[in-house]
Amino acid sequence: MSDSRPIGIFDSGVGGLTVFSEVEKALPREEIVYFGDTARVPYGTKSKETITRFSVENVEFLMKHNVKLVLVACNTASSLSLDFLKRCFRVPIIGVIAPGARNAVNSTRNNRIGVVGTNATIISGAYEKAVKSISRKIAVYSQSCPLFVPLVEEGWTKEKVTYEVASVYLKGLKAKGVDTLILGCTHYPLLKDVIKKFMGSEVLLVDSAREVAKEAKAILDANGLLNINPGRKKHKFFVSDEPGPFIRLSERFLKRKMTCVKRAV
């Protein structure tokens, strides 16, 4: 059996392209429909009710494209809305919290894990709960970094001001001696160079994207939903606001021309 329906991915903006990139590598025969809610980014400063409403609307949009699986690339939406989405829709839905937590637990050497994320993600305690459900002996230290998302959306991924902001946010985690740092927002991997520079090369940065791609492949395989037909795939990208800024950032990140980005209607 072969299922040619696309995979759906949504994020609050451009950050979910980190998930898109890993899914594309892991599942080269699959078509992907990506939705970035750029008109309403950032999600991390909003209430649970608002984030859940946005998330439902995002999945509804993807369902119009007959997707067979939905990946919630946004950490904030994953931490606050995933269970509700799973109850609302029959299509398999995967979040980024559990895969990232498993990776961090398997990677830490001194049992001291740091988590950075949006205000909403950190307040939810989702990563701490996920880590503790695997191992009670691991200490988890969390820090919200609300300015990281707008910096990425602005394209300021390596500027001096970005390093200065990062140093303020991360100094407490560095003082705690964490050896593993979960990047609890899909935007944050675009700041890896800055974060690594401050935290030091000995600190492992955990990006959930690769683990999510592995889980997506396993679920599709287990349910007979893989597309086994070869051929060039035509991915589709949609945003909820003017496509220009998204196109510029995505071309820089994906290193390809983005001629297929449309404004969702």
Q: Measured between alpha carbons, how far is 99 from 130 in angstroms, rounded to an integer?
A: 9
What was the pLDDT predicted at 25?
94
What is the C-alpha separation between 9 and 69, in angstroms, rounded?
Answer: 8
Residue ranges, CATH 3.40.50.1860, the chain: 7-96+210-263, 97-208
Q: Rounded CA gap, 148 and 117, in Å?
A: 9
Q: Please, are residues 116 and 92 in contact by the beta-carbon 8 Å criterion?
A: no
- How much is the pLDDT for 154? 87
Q: What is the pLDDT of residue 231?
A: 73
pLDDT of residue 265: 79
The amino acid present at 155, given as its one-letter code, is G
- Give the pLDDT of residue 252: 85
Pair of tokens at residue 103: 């990776």
**How far does Cα 36 stand from its chain's mean position?**
11
CATH of domain 97-208: 3.40.50.1860
Candidates 199, 151, 157; CA nearest to 174 is 199
pLDDT in tens, the chain (265 residues): 789 999 999 999 998 999 999 999 999 999 999 999 999 998 988 999 999 999 999 999 999 999 999 999 999 999 999 999 999 999 999 999 999 999 999 999 999 999 999 999 999 999 999 999 999 999 999 999 999 999 998 889 999 999 999 999 999 999 999 999 999 998 899 899 999 999 999 999 998 888 899 999 999 999 999 998 877 778 999 999 999 999 998 998 898 999 889 999 7
pLDDT at position 229 is 86
Q: Which pLDDT value is given to residue 29? A: 94
What pLDDT score was predicted for residue 5?
Answer: 96
Q: Residue 88: what residue type?
A: C
Neighbours of 254 (CB within 10 A): 14
How far from each other are the two terminal CA atoms of the chain, in whole angstroms? 33
**Rounded Cα–Cα distance for residues 239 and 11 (Å):** 10
Could you give the angle at which helices 17-26 and 209-222 cross, rounded to 10 degrees?
Answer: 50
3-state helix, strand, coil in the chain (%, to 5): 50, 15, 35
β-bridge pairing 69-72 and 261-263: unpaired
Cβ count within 10 A of residue 179: 17
CA 225 to chain centre: 23
Q: What is the CATH number of domain 7-96+210-263?
A: 3.40.50.1860
Of 45, 105, 36, 38, nearest to 76 (Cα)? Answer: 45
Question: Tokens representing 60?
Answer: 């509804």
Catalytic sites, residue numbers = 74, 185
